[in-house]
Amino acid sequence: MQEETTQKTIALAIKTSKLTASVLQKAMKMYLEHQKHKEPSHGKIPVKKLIGQGEGAKSIEVTDSNIKSFERVARKYNVDFAVKKDKTTEPPKYLVFFKGKDADVIAQAFKEFVKVQARET
């Protein structure tokens, strides 16, 4: 299972009369250049990656076991977040980490999340 998540495959489609090392090198450079300018995705990411972005991280403690529905609301607001389950408490609590600059946005997302949860119950 671990190998499946760490390995990636790239497929390149090249139109050429003769495939040489230089043609393949140019194609790989074009692909890498495209990846640099690609719009970063938002949503759930690992804690290490969130902290590694160097923008400071804050967290909010959530006791709700229905944390999955929060993901939908957070994606709507285009925030990067990471969820960590604290198993030392009973019932387990969830820590939602997010970038420090997204504090106002994440607060609004949580307000909407609570409103949606109140409607569903």
Cα diameter, the chain: 65
Q: What is the pLDDT of residues 44-87, one digit of tens each?
A: 777 777 767 666 677 777 766 667 777 777 778 877 788 888 88
Per-residue pLDDT band at 1 (split at 50, 70, 90): very low
Q: How far is CA 106 from the centre of its chain?
A: 14
* pTM, 2 dp: 0.51
Q: How far is CA 111 from the centre of its chain?
A: 21
